[in-house]
Amino acid sequence: MIQADWTFALWAVLAALAALGFWADRTRIGRNVSGLAIVLATGMLLSNIGILPKQAPVYNVVWIYLVPLAIPLLLLKADLRRVLVETRGMLLPFVLGAVGTLLGALLGVWLLPLGEHAAKLAGVFSATYIGGSMNMAAVTQAVDLDPSLATASVAADNVVGVFYLAFLALAPSLVLFQRWFRVTGDELRTTSDESVQAANDRADAESDVIPLDPLHLGIALAVAFTICAIGQALATWFGVGGYAILFITALAVLVANVFPRQLGRLNGDYEVGLFMMYLFFAAIGISADVAAMINSALEIAAFAAIIVFCHALVIFGLGRVFRTDLMDTVIASNACAAGPASAAAMAAGKGRPDLVAPAVLLGVFGYAVANFIGIGVATWPGWG
């Protein structure tokens, strides 16, 4: 119905799909299945019933320009010094979880017939289970993963992730885990006053409106465009133009740590970067072939399940050996496997406001390192 050269109409649809995702994240259903999954499903529906074209120049603009631009916007507050100081006992479990993710990716490739896309899938899932959806988008774009496989990957990540988050929510109350790990006692508090306070804190956080100051937005975009320009130039100079995202990520983290106080005052940079990522997932969903996605969905879901299982086995198994704190381990696992927002929400929901800020910092740290790990895994010469 809508033609590939109807540029403004396609941009309108992409923006509407991104808005749908943000709206869905505020609903009960959206919080359970994620706004990204709803964006992908809606995009697939619109393209596979003929309303939208599967290929269009507009989508190329999103993949080529907006994804790299979103990375520095999402990382401008990635102050690694704060991570080292404020994450306390959560950093070791996070590292253990990242190791478990990598082992799971290798094991999944060995066990499952993933074919010629095995290395790319290993890189994409390593990135998303160490960083988050931002890293999944960046590595998907960098390794040029087929849109149908990318859509199946996001769907599998959502399904497996929901079950794992449910397990993490239950873990602090399991007697076996309480015996295995150090327990500070705070996570066992269940008084009604604390429950009410936690609910109020979450409500206040959700009601906060981030002011989009045009000055702040202009500065953030100028910095992001500059980082992208320099990163692309460096990648071209080194002869690896296809992996400019690595240089952009490194430069963004460098700038964030050289000017932490100045960049920390900016408002709206993260939200704009997140909006660009939603545009990317909308374009991915529209470009996906449903038949091709279904053919690979079960194998990719099994792959995601193997990775998450190995992640849990390592973080909780070695966590017991190193006697890490139970709630530190649970929140670190959440930050590693699901990102900063989910980890912060779980910390607040468990009545541990002292772990909210460390959870966010740890998740942002995952954002900063996961692109390197994911692309490194995807391009590892050992795949043969």
Q: Over the stretch 63-90, which tens digit does the pLDDT of each residue have? A: 889 988 988 998 888 888 888 788 778 8
Within a domain: residue 23? no
The pLDDT of residue 32: 65
The CA distance from 166 to 33, in Å, is: 12
One-letter amino acid at 234 equals: L
Contact assessment for residue 274 and residue 210, using Cβ atoms and an 8 Å cutoff: no
The pLDDT of residue 107: 95
The pLDDT of residue 170: 83
Within a domain: residue 152? yes
Q: How many residues does the chain have?
A: 384
- Residue 211 phi, psi (nearest 5): -70, 130
The CA distance from 380 to 256, in Å, is: 28
- List all residues 6 or more positions away from 287 whose beta carbon is below 8 Å from its beta carbon: 47, 54, 55, 59, 147
Q: What percent of the chain has pLDDT over 70?
A: 90
The pLDDT of residue 105: 96
Mean pLDDT of the chain: 84
Produce one character per residue of 159-171: b if its CB has 16 or more CB atoms within 10 Å, e if not: bbbeebbeebeeb
The answer on pLDDT for 36 being more than 90 is no
The answer on pLDDT for 377 being more than 50 is yes
Q: What is the pLDDT of residues 98-119, one digit of tens each?
A: 999 999 999 999 999 988 899 9
Contact assessment for residue 67 and residue 279, using Cβ atoms and an 8 Å cutoff: no
The CA distance from 383 to 221, in Å, is: 38
Within a domain: residue 53? no
Give the pLDDT mean for 251-261: 91
The answer on pLDDT for 173 being more than 90 is no
Domain count, the chain: 1
The answer on pLDDT for 207 being more than 60 is no
Q: What is the pLDDT of residues 240-251, one digit of tens each?
A: 887 888 899 899
Within a domain: residue 226? yes
Instruction: Identify which of 243, 1, 216 has the alpha carbon closest to the alpha carbon of residue 138.
Output: 243
**Confidence at 156, pLDDT banded by 50, 70, 90:** confident
Q: Residues 115, 118, 123, CA angle at the centre, nearest 5°? A: 170
The CA distance from 243 to 9, in Å, is: 31
Produce one character per residue of 250-281: b if its CB has 16 or more CB atoms within 10 Å, e if not: bbbbebbeeebeebeebebbbebbbbbbbbbb
The answer on pLDDT for 274 being more than 80 is yes
3-state helix, strand, coil in the chain (%, to 5): 80, 0, 15
Q: What is the DSSP string of 93-124?
A: HHHHHHHHHHHHHHHHHHHS--GGGHHHHHHH
Within a domain: residue 34? no
Within a domain: residue 39? no
The answer on pLDDT for 232 being more than 90 is yes
Token pair in block for residue 283: 């374009």
Give the pLDDT mean for 283-292: 78
The pLDDT of residue 339: 84
The answer on pLDDT for 198 being more than 70 is no
The answer on pLDDT for 205 being more than 50 is no
Out of 33-37, 101-105, 140-144, 208-212, the most confident range is 101-105
Give the pLDDT mean for 159-177: 82
Domain hosting residue 139, numbered range: 70-383
Contact assessment for residue 73 and residue 272, using Cβ atoms and an 8 Å cutoff: yes
Within a domain: residue 102? yes
Give the pLDDT mean for 357-377: 91
Instruction: Identify which of 378, 40, 334 has the alpha carbon closest to the alpha carbon of residue 169.
Output: 334
Within a domain: residue 293? yes
Q: Within 13 A of 116's CA, how many CA atoms are on the CB side?
A: 3
The pLDDT of residue 189: 44
The pLDDT of residue 206: 43
